[in-house]
Amino acid sequence: MPEVHNHSVDGEHESLEALRQLDPHEAEVLFDYAHRKKSADFEGTIDGHRENFTLIKESDGGFRVDKRGKEKSSGGWFKW
């Protein structure tokens, strides 16, 4: 399983790349939130298009990132 921002993360290539694009501080906030709440939504840019992703805390202690589709809102980079 690949490591992204010092965490084991599973997911498709595009989803992992979107997670890698985050600033290290932003990523730690996201991982902390996903750890406490089981998931955290965020935005990433793939091929010039804004996409929605979800970082999911797995029961084995690792994380998974899934793509949710194109950005439709004008909100922040992840949803509380």
Q: What is the pLDDT of residue 51?
A: 93
Condensed to tens digits (0 to 9), the pLDDT of residues 9-28 reads 999 999 999 999 999 999 99
Model pTM score: 0.82
Q: What is the pLDDT of residue 71?
A: 47
Q: How sure is the predictor about 69, in pLDDT bands with cuts at 50, 70 and 90?
A: low
Q: What is the pLDDT of residue 46?
A: 87
Q: How sure is the predictor about 32, in pLDDT bands with cuts at 50, 70 and 90?
A: very high
What 32-41 contacts at long range (C-beta under 8 Å, 24+ apart), as own/partner pairs, is: 33/78, 33/80, 34/63, 40/78, 40/79, 41/68, 41/78, 41/79
User: How is the chain split into domains, by residue range?
Assistant: 3-69
